[in-house]
A and B are shown apart, each in its own frame.
Chain A
């Protein structure tokens, strides 16, 4: 009993001593039954934490709903970046620049009428009713005006209308304007390719990436390098423009093709358009005549016929063909424009452009052989290049002997000029048919897909007759025979079909030139639609008087740009096989 008070001094600690210290000690007590206050404190802490997080979530959900929605709407509307397009020397043909566009959030505009009034005052070309309708919708995002100037941006900014803002966008610009319009095509205000190479770029997967929501910046995109040479392109366009005014032609077009790689060095079709402002780009008159138009190529096709005849083995360079009188077939008679009334050798048939001679050659081969050869040369099927626009050749539905005879000299089969140029390239480059391309490539890449269509010997014969046509006084290509470049060529004049019959005075003239003829590097093509006889052409409007000289001007101006060295002594043995065979005209 005595020591009872000393039994447990700790338990005896008085209630007033249960102060902060003891509470703290409670927290660190390890025994489970005594740790309730610790648990409750922890529970309290977690409850507080969760309520803070929850509150913040509610706050975010309430306040930032609008901005994120606008951002989402804007990102799908905004113009995507496109890769630059450069020419074969790296000159820029098309590029993106940043422009500012005005947008509005109709939901956040308080006084819509006032907004319409203010905006139309600053941007006078806006349609007020159209804008009012746009602002009266319930949409979260509408465009007010795309691509405004910095000055207009400052003015709109100064209006201070709530709910109207600015977004930077990519705008496609073509600094060279018309120079390569038909090759480049153009992109619309949303930077989606509509035509030409621009559409090709989109079809290669750019648009799919944008659609999937990938935000592509200009830095990720590699420039697309074309085979076009801007300087040549400009020179060609300039010369064709001069030719078109001089001969009062309705339209004209030209192309330069590298025969060893299939690269299109230049392609011009006049009239053309400005891709920066393509309002009249889809005009029927402004189609790409080289690629999209199909035409009866006239005597240019005689080159194909002669090559077919020589390659078949049934004819050789010394074969003779009777052109003493017109070739009768049923009630039709085929005559010659430059009638010779005698028996001609193959080179003579070519340089006199004898319809009778070529028709006889085609008849000798037969309809099936003729068709097979033209199909092999790619003249009967659609020519697909990178350009999305292409045309199907117009083939006679029932191809009889008469068709073969007329097609032999270029009437009755309409092909795209680029297609014919590809075939001429194959005739002179040693017999390799190479599909034209608008992208830069080298000879090895071209050889991988090339097809050997005629024998190299036939190719030499074709080079020989084309050169002879330019060098012989009787030939028709003399007007393009620029000294020093050893030019070879073939004229072609087709009478245009007006109301179902061939017109006598409306011509479609073509000229195909090969430079240099002994070792071809480039083929040149000029076509003219309805050139007129002018002073100095003695009433003629055939190819030798208009398309020929224009091609000559082009070669004279472009050959130095293309790095073809001029030679003032003719090559020693340009056509060894021909002189061995003692062909007509070698002596």
Chain B
């Protein structure tokens, strides 16, 4: 009986030792993987920083301005060209028959957005003096 207990104890010991051993080596393996990934993310971060700096370098306003002056046929924005969404004209009258029929049946609610009357006049009443 005691012998049997001994055998059980010893085999349990061996199994647990083997388990601990495998756990340890798994941990080592994963730790290595983590370190590798960390260094890879670090490298990626550095690469991103370089790319960001390069993007900003290529995207810097004075370079864009020089490039636009040289290659594009654009003119400086005039203040009269600026408008707000509320300044846009209303939707034109419906042309389609079905729409008109629906309207006659009273199924089509009004869609006209409120108009901003204060901004209707687009002809400037003030002028920038000559400089």
> Which residues on A are within 8 Å of B, measured CB to CB?
91-92, 95-98, 173, 175-179, 218-219, 230-231, 234-235, 238, 478-479, 481-485, 549, 552-553, 556-557, 559-560, 565-566, 568-570
Contacts and interface: CB of A to CB of B under 8 A. Distances in A.
Given A98-B49, A230-B61, 17 more contacts: A92-B53, A97-B50, A98-B46, A175-B54, A176-B56, A176-B60, A179-B62, A218-B49, A234-B60, A234-B61, A481-B128, A484-B124, A552-B128, A557-B76, A568-B80, A568-B124, A568-B125
Nearest to B76: A557
Interface string B112-131: 00000011011111111101
B41 to A, nearest CB: 9
B11 interface: no
Given A238-B65, A568-B121, A569-B118, A97 B49 contact: yes
B45 interface: yes
Contact of A231 (B53, B61, B131): B61
The residue among A478, A484, A552 with the most chain B CB atoms within 10 A of its own CB is: A484
B2 interface: no
B79 A483 contact: yes
Contacts of A96: 49
Interface residues of B, number: 32
B79 A95 contact: no
Given A95-B52, A560-B82, A568-B126, A549 B77 contact: no
Contacts of B25: none
Nearest to A570: B126
Contacts of B71: none
6 contacts: A176-B56, A238-B65, A483-B127, A560-B77, A568-B121, A568-B123
B126 A95 contact: no
A15 B46 CA distance: 78
A472 B127 CA distance: 13
Interface in B16-68: 45-46, 49-50, 52-54, 56-57, 59-62, 65
Given A479-B129, A556-B79, A95 B53 contact: yes
Given A97-B50, A483-B128, A569-B125, A91 B56 contact: yes
The residue among B56, B59, B82, B121 with the most chain A CB atoms within 10 A of its own CB is: B56
A178 B57 CA distance: 12
B79 A177 contact: no
B80 to A, nearest CB: 8
B126 A219 contact: no
A346 to B, nearest CB: 25
The residue among A175, A553, A557 with the most chain B CB atoms within 10 A of its own CB is: A175
B46 A97 contact: yes
B101 to A, nearest CB: 41
B6 interface: no
Contacts of A478: 129
A568 B122 contact: yes
A583 B81 CA distance: 35
Contact of A484 (B61, B76, B126): B126
A98 B76 CA distance: 39
The residue among B46, B124, B127, B128 with the most chain A CB atoms within 10 A of its own CB is: B128
Nearest to B130: A479
Contacts of A176: 56-57, 60-62
A484 B81 CA distance: 12
B84 interface: yes
Contacts of B129: 478-479, 481
A91 B79 CA distance: 26
Given A92-B56, A177-B60, A98 B122 contact: no
Nearest to A86: B56
5 closest A-B pairs by beta carbon, nearest first, are: A234-B61, A175-B56, A175-B57, A568-B124, A483-B128
Contacts of B53: 92, 95, 97, 173, 175
B49 A569 contact: no
Contacts of B50: 97-98
A485 B54 CA distance: 37
Nearest to B131: A549
A91 B121 CA distance: 38
Contacts of A483: 79, 124, 126-128
Nearest to B65: A238
The residue among B61, B82, B123 with the most chain A CB atoms within 10 A of its own CB is: B61
B45 A238 contact: no
A97 B82 CA distance: 40
A234 B62 contact: yes
A220 to B, nearest CB: 12
Nearest to B64: A234
A533 to B, nearest CB: 16
A218 B41 CA distance: 13
A543 to B, nearest CB: 14
Contacts of A556: 79, 128
A383 to B, nearest CB: 29
Contact of B79 (A178, A219, A560, A569): A560
Contacts of B76: 557
A566 B77 CA distance: 13
B3 to A, nearest CB: 16
A565 B83 CA distance: 8
